[in-house]
């Protein structure tokens, strides 16, 4: 309903902090700064919340991907004491490929809530869940279980991931000896983590893993524990969620150390059973990942942050002499000042150093009318390196979601696929390999032997990975290639600490803070 | 349906800034009113237990948290609402004219499964101001609009004097209860990560 022209001028015109973009890192910074008592203005050029972390309708997703894959231009203008630098949109997406095999999907466009940064899940014990609780933003989001995890191979088999003691017990594919090996390994890890946690007890050297082992590659440690290849692969790629082929030796870009591997197993296992009705370790927000930034924005609003959507920032005002940031100019023509500015990574100005592309991600979204497994609505599938084709260098992760998560119309399923890659060609090759492995592509003649879900629609795209940075303005990170938000949230809390070294990032007390409640609004005169 | 969802009714209050949304909530739940206006900061939602045909329900009334000022409410706010309350100020014509925009915005954003029959309630607030002399929207005109939108129940209220506020919210609760939520999404396997961690205390005053 809103046209920017109908907006009244923004009042006040000076803030402690202006945040541009409503992605998860920006929203968390806005909420944390508002909670710390800063005056915050939160702007977004889009008519929706979430930026690159949002969940969109079918139509909006396609137009967002296309509009963020164009090449921008930049120029700057000098006036008496201020340098005015144009803000440009940096294309984060490239090689966007939309395929539709069923025109009827368009009619249901609004029933889809498609994640731009999928596949993504929360581990019940991870940082994002802790942050939701600590900030009390959890009251705006509800979750459901991811029912199962599978490891896939090139022959179309999906093997259940025995990720806990009870899952190992119930598993039908493992030999008795394999079950024993896996159980004793889980026990070893648990024993180690418990021993490390209890600092005041004398540590039993037998129970903990030696420092030598902790600093050596996890894959070698698994070999040392004599775990068979199948189980090794499950632990590395489907529980510790490692990206790169750990058996590639020297050529592997990122070798996971045992210490980190043990921590990831610990996170996985402590996630199981954290919440009474969460059966596994993974959960997903109803209505999509885009609910998370919105929850933090509402928290920020409740703490006094001012929200203006559909409001692009067209230029940044810098002090001519010092080059220091002073304020922003909006598309409405209004100029606003603030001490600090935070921008999402799709906005750039010339004076800031050219952001380096470190890596790329290939992402895919697929829609079908049937599930990979008849009785399972929401599940995770991992294709470890080399499982689909010989030179597959990284794991491919797929998340299947059903309509009980309100992400698609009833009777349909949405799949998210992602893989880290060096270039678009390699990334697309991996996506296509996964799609060929999971789905049958729509043809006129129906193959009655084909049990795979039929692909109705897909969007494949390459996303640039940009890390957060601090300059005249603070830039937040793009969504990364991980399943959970842990690294992004670490980066976000670091940015907050750089912005406000003296303020706490969501103090624990905000839990019991009663100032949210209307009746405790102490400034107002009450009469009854 | 015995799910938690059925016991909890989500009500959202929409309307232009300054029409009295927060005051109406506050009057209904806390029996309090403040003359000093400031744009809403610090309002989240209020809850109140209501009894209907021998069953207890929790009415959860969501404030806009000021995000309506620049029409920046976001789709999450609208999700799962059981009743939408549209408020205008009888002394401000524009706030009445905008009711249509708010209603349409709600239907687009919340996309209820049966938009024709989704329960709305309209409140014409601030009838006390200047003894009614500064009023610019007549009751007749308001009722005509409500009738044209599928007979939306209409109440004239004064949050300041507590006039008609209880009656209006009684109607709101009844209508919220009639709304059928989308069952598939709200089956009882929903995980609330706050449960068992820190019991979400009812933010409403129980007095």
Picking from B77, B111, B191, the nearest residue to A275 by CB comes out as: B191
Q: How many CB atoms lie within 10 A of CB B202?
A: 13
CATH number of the domain that residue A307 is part of: 3.50.50.60
Cis bond before residue B149 (omega within 30° of 0): no
Residue A265 shares a structural domain with residue A315: no
Residue A64 shares a structural domain with residue A192: no
Q: What is the pLDDT of residue B195?
A: 67
Q: Which is more confident, B2 or A522? A: B2
Picking from B111, B196, B200, the nearest residue to A276 by CB comes out as: B196
Q: What is the pLDDT of residue A171?
A: 83
Picking from B46, B71, B185, the nearest residue to A2 by CB comes out as: B71
Q: What is the pLDDT of residues A360-409, one digit of tens each?
A: 999 999 999 999 999 999 999 999 999 999 999 999 999 999 999 999 99
Flag whether pLDDT at B200 surpasses 60.
no
Q: How many beta-carbon pairs under 8 angstroms link A with B?
A: 154
What is the C-alpha to C-alpha distance for residues A468 and A450, in angstroms, rounded to an integer? 46
Q: Which of B32, B38, B42 to mutate to probe the A interface, most A CBs <10 Å?
A: B42
Domain-located, residue A313: yes
Q: For residue B31, is it left (φ>0), alpha (ψ between -120 and 50) or beta?
A: left
Domain-located, residue B38: yes
Nearest 5°: the CA angle A466, A500, A337 is 80
Domain-located, residue B88: yes
Residue A351 shares a structural domain with residue A472: yes
Flag whether pLDDT at A37 surpasses 60.
yes
Range of the domain at B104: 6-189
Residue A335 shares a structural domain with residue A472: yes
CATH number of the domain that residue B104 is part of: 3.40.50.300
Choose one of A271, A303, A337: the last residue of a domain.
A271
Domain-located, residue B205: no
Q: What is the pLDDT of residue A485?
A: 98
Min distance B9 CA to chain A CA atoms (Å): 14
Domain-located, residue A315: yes
Residue A346 shares a structural domain with residue A251: no
Q: Which of A130, A301, A330, A512 to mutate to probe the B interface, most B CBs <10 Å?
A: A301
Query: In a 10 Å sphere around its CB, with 0-12 CB exposed, 13-18 middle and 19+ buried, how is residue A152 labelled?
Result: buried
Provide CB contacts within 8 A for A188, sequence distance 6+. Answer: A209, A225
Beta bridge partners of A143: A285, B191
**pLDDT (mean) for A39-67:** 96
Q: What is the pLDDT of residues B129-142, one digit of tens each?
A: 999 999 999 999 99
Residue A232 shares a structural domain with residue A296: no
Ranking A184-198, A214-228, A305-319, A338-352 by mean pLDDT, the lowest is: A338-352
Residue A263 shares a structural domain with residue A310: no
Q: What is the ipTM of this complex?
A: 0.88
Q: Give the DSSP letter of residue A490.
A: H
8 Å CB contact between A336 and A10: yes
Q: Give the DSSP letter of residue A181.
A: H
Residue A225 shares a structural domain with residue A187: yes
Sign, Cα dihedral of A124, A126, A132, A135: positive
Q: What is the pLDDT of residues A95-135, one digit of tens each?
A: 999 999 988 898 889 899 999 999 999 999 999 999 999 99
Contact list in B for residue A287 (CB cut-off 8 A) is 75-76, 79
Q: What is the pLDDT of residues A260-289, one digit of tens each?
A: 999 999 999 999 888 887 888 999 999 999
| Both tokens assigned to A301 | 């609003």
Residue A200 shares a structural domain with residue A325: no
Domain-located, residue B18: yes
Range of the domain at A188: 164-271
Residue A174 shares a structural domain with residue A266: yes
Number of domains in chain B: 1
Number of domains in chain A: 2
């Amino acid at each position: 309903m809103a046209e920017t022209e109908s907006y009244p001028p923004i009042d006040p015109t000076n803030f402690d902090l202006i945040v541009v973009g409503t992605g998860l890192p920006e929203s968390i910074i806005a909420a944390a700064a508002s909670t710390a008592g800063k005056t915050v203005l939160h702007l977004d050029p889009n008519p929706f919340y979430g930026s690159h972390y949002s969940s969109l309708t079918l139509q909006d997703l396609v137009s967002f991907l296309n509009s963020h894959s164009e090449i921008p231009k930049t120029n700057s203008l000098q006036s008496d004491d201020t340098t005015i630098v144009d803000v440009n949109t940096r294309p984060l997406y490239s090689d966007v490929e939309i395929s539709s095999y069923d025109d009827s999907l368009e009619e249901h466009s609004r029933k889809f809530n498609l994640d731009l940064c999928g596949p993504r899940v929360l581990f019940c014990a991870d940082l994002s869940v802790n942050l939701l609780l600590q900030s009390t933003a959890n009251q705006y989001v509800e979750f459901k279980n991811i029912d199962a995890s599978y490891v896939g191979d090139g022959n179309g088999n999906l093997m259940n991931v025995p990720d806990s003691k009870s899952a190992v017990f119930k598993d039908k594919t493992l030999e008795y000896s394999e079950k024993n090996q896996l159980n004793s390994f889980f026990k070893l890890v648990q024993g180690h983590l418990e021993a490390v946690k209890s600092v005041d007890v004398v540590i039993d050297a037998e129970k903990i893993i030696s420092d030598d082992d902790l600093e050596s590659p996890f894959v070698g440690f698994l070999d040392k524990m004599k775990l068979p290849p199948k189980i090794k692969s499950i632990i590395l790629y489907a529980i510790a969620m490692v990206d790169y082929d750990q058996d590639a030796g020297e050529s592997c870009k990122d070798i996971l150390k045992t210490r980190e591997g043990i921590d990831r197993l610990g996170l996985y296992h402590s996630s199981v059973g954290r919440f009474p009705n969460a059966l596994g370790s993974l959960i997903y927000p109803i209505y999509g990942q885009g609910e998370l930034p919105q929850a933090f924005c509402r928290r920020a609003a409740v703490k006094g942050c001012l929200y203006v959507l559909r409001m692009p920032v067209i230029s940044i005002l810098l002090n001519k002499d010092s080059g220091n940031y002073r304020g922003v100019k909006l598309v409405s023509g209004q100029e606003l000042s603030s001490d600090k500015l935070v921008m999402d990574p799709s906005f750039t100005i010339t004076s800031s150093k050219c952001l380096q592309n470190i890596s790329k991600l290939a992402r895919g979204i697929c829609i079908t009318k049937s599930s990979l497994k008849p009785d399972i609505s929401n599940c995770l599938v991992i294709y470890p390196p080399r499982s689909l084709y010989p030179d597959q260098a990284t794991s491919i992760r797929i998340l299947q979601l059903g309509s009980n998560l309100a992400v698609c119309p009833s009777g349909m399923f949405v799949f998210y696929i992602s893989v880290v890659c060096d270039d678009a060609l390699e990334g697309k090759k991996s996506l296509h390999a996964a799609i060929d492995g999971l789905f049958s592509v729509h043809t006129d003649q129906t193959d009655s032997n084909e049990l795979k879900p039929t692909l109705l629609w897909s969007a494949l795209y390459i996303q640039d990975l940009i890390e957060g940075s601090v300059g005249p303005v603070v830039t937040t990170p793009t969504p990364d290639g991980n399943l959970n938000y842990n690294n992004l949230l670490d980066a976000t809390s670091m940015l907050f600490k750089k912005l406000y070294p003296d303020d706490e990032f969501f103090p624990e007390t905000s839990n019991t803070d009663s100032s949210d409640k209307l009746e405790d609004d102490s400034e107002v005169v009450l009469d009854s | 349906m015995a799910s938690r969802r059925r016991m909890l009714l989500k009500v959202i209050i929409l309307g232009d800034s300054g029409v009295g949304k927060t005051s109406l909530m506050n009057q209904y739940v806390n029996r309090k009113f403040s003359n000093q206006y400031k744009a809403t900061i610090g309002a989240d939602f209020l809850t109140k237990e209501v009894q209907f045909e021998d069953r207890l329900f929790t009415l959860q009334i969501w404030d806009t948290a000021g995000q309506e000022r620049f029409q920046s409410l976001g789709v999450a706010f609208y999700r799962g609402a059981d009743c939408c309350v549209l408020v205008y100020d009888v002394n401000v014509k524009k706030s009445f004219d905008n009711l249509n925009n708010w209603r349409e915005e709600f239907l687009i954003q919340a996309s209820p499964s049966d938009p024709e029959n989704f329960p709305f309630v309209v409140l014409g607030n601030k009838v006390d101001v200047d003894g009614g002399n500064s009023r610019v929207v007549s009751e007749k005109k308001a009722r005509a609009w409500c009738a044209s939108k599928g007979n939306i129940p209409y109440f004239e209220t004064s949050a300041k004097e507590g006039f008609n506020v209880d009656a209006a919210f009684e109607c709101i609760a009844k209508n919220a209860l009639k709304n059928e939520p989308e069952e598939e999404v709200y089956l009882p396997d929903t995980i609330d990560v706050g449960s068992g961690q820190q019991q979400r205390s009812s933010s409403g005053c129980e007095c």
